Chain A
Amino acid sequence: MRPLLVEPGLRRTGPLRLYLRSRALPGALAALVCTAAFGAGAARWLVSLPDFDHTARLPVVVFGPLLATAAIGTSLYAPCDELDRTAVRAWWPRRLVHLLAPTALAAVLFALAVPGHTEAFGPPAAVRNTLGLTGVTAGAAALVGARLSWLPPAFFVGTVYLAAPSRPEGAAQWWAWVMQPGPGTGAWTVALGAFVAGSVLYAWRGARRTTAES
């Protein structure tokens, strides 16, 4: 039998592990995987319903990424912001990795959750929505704080889902980008624009501090 570790604290205080725990990232990643698994199940079930075809996967392609980015957004909360500001190294590279790594995972998981039919609501649409909504959420974290960062994208998606015309044309291609089929250039342009702008804003400013500042 191997002897017990002499210093149990040694293993628990690895920097990466401490960082991940301080942001409650294990929970956020678990939520992300569960959302994708639930999305995959829901997509299969919707398609299997009588009179429904693959286009019935639209709610999964819209609301799945929304839930996943909400999990990522709330993990951007820094509990000891004032101490973090005294860090020797600049924060922006860590912030970018923190944002992009889970986003990449979410994009892959949702692409796998809705396989096939790339011309409609398949992997391209899921990836586009994950990237675009990540951008909106990250921007919201920088502007209103990480804990409420899910609210602006939820409001946006909810409104668009109710208001978008059934056959989006003209301006709706742009403002209702989350509802567009996979290949639409306009929707991709808006989503990528939101992704880059939101990520850069968050990496530069960090999540807005929401505790009282004296």
Chain B
Amino acid sequence: MNPSTAVAVTGLTVRHRRTVALDRLDLSLGPGVHGLLGPNGAGKTSLIRVLATVAAPFSGRVELLGGDATSHRERTGIRRRLGYLPQEFGYYPGFTVREFVAYVAWLKEMPSDRVPAAVERAVRRVGLGDRIDAKMKTLSGGMVRRAGIAQAVVNEPELLLLDEPTAGLDPEQRVDFRSLLRELGTGATVVVSTHLVEDVAAACTEVALIEGGRLAFQGTTGELTALGGVSTEGNDSTTHAVERGYTAALRAHRTSAENAREALR
């Protein structure tokens, strides 16, 4: 494995009772911001949860930050260097933002003398500095999500997994968040699951497209855009171009999957 590869997944299969969420997926990710795109139910959350070590794969190999995620001993070391924002995360409503982020710092076993400063820095980075001692239950949806991002970055993770981080953020917060993503992506491997193509266009250097539990496309944002071809419409924007690329990649994958099925008959 390449030492700079933070995520190396081979033959990953995840099942939820009888349905197959991920089907023998191979994926390898290095430093930078990776957009994880795909239709609803494609398996994005299943993949993120396996990478976050909260869900166990049915089969396959998952190597994270150079360690085997299925080995109990190595998982301990991986978790210290991992940040995770779940799509839905609960919190004790009586906690302040500071307490919530400190609680996660404790889960990550950060040295206690470093926790207060790390908590303040993480909360400032998501623009919640003025609400750090406000109770979580008094925050708006967007603020709760930003507190969620703060807990994910409190330990300066080398692998950061964000599941739908921009849901509930207003346009200005989204712009701020994307610049934070770019900043984080300079040193760490950031995986952002999203269904907003504009998030990818604005902040991601690479894209992995998942459909039906399989990898439909992986490449740079530029390569995805190029798949869409040139627009015949006059006022074409980057977002439109990425959207066209996304649709083209998805259709190409579906066609090849159908052809493969036909060939098997």
Contacts and interface: CB of A to CB of B under 8 A. Distances in A.
Nearest to B72: A90
Contacts of A9: 98, 102, 116, 119-120, 132-133
Interface string A16-34: 0011011110000000000
A79 B91 CA distance: 5
A83 interface: yes
Interface stretch (B77-85, B165-173, B210-218, B229-237): B77-85
Interface residues of B, number: 37
11 contacts: A19-B103, A23-B92, A78-B90, A79-B91, A81-B90, A85-B53, A86-B52, A86-B53, A88-B80, A88-B107, A89-B76
Contact of A21 (B45, B88, B94): B94
A211 B91 CA distance: 12
B120 to A, nearest CB: 8
Of A9, A12, A211, most B-chain CB atoms within 10 Å:
A9
A190 B53 CA distance: 38
Contacts of A81: 90
B128 to A, nearest CB: 14
Contact of B89 (A21, A83, A212, A214): A83
B44 to A, nearest CB: 10
Contacts of B106: 15, 18-19
A7 B133 CA distance: 12
B184 to A, nearest CB: 18
Given A12-B98, A12-B99, A79-B90, A84 B116 contact: no
Contacts of B104: 83
B264 interface: no
B108 A80 contact: no
Contacts of B35: none
A89 B76 CA distance: 7
B119 A13 contact: yes
A168 B99 CA distance: 52
A83 B109 contact: no
Contacts of B151: 83
Contacts of A85: 53-54
A10 B118 CA distance: 12
A21 B103 CA distance: 10
Given A86-B84, A88-B108, A13 B99 contact: yes
Contacts of B33: none
Contacts of A12: 96, 98-99
Contacts of A23: 92
Contacts of A82: 54, 86, 88-90
A208 to B, nearest CB: 14
Nearest to B53: A86
Nearest to B151: A83
A21 B54 contact: no
B87 interface: yes
A87 interface: yes
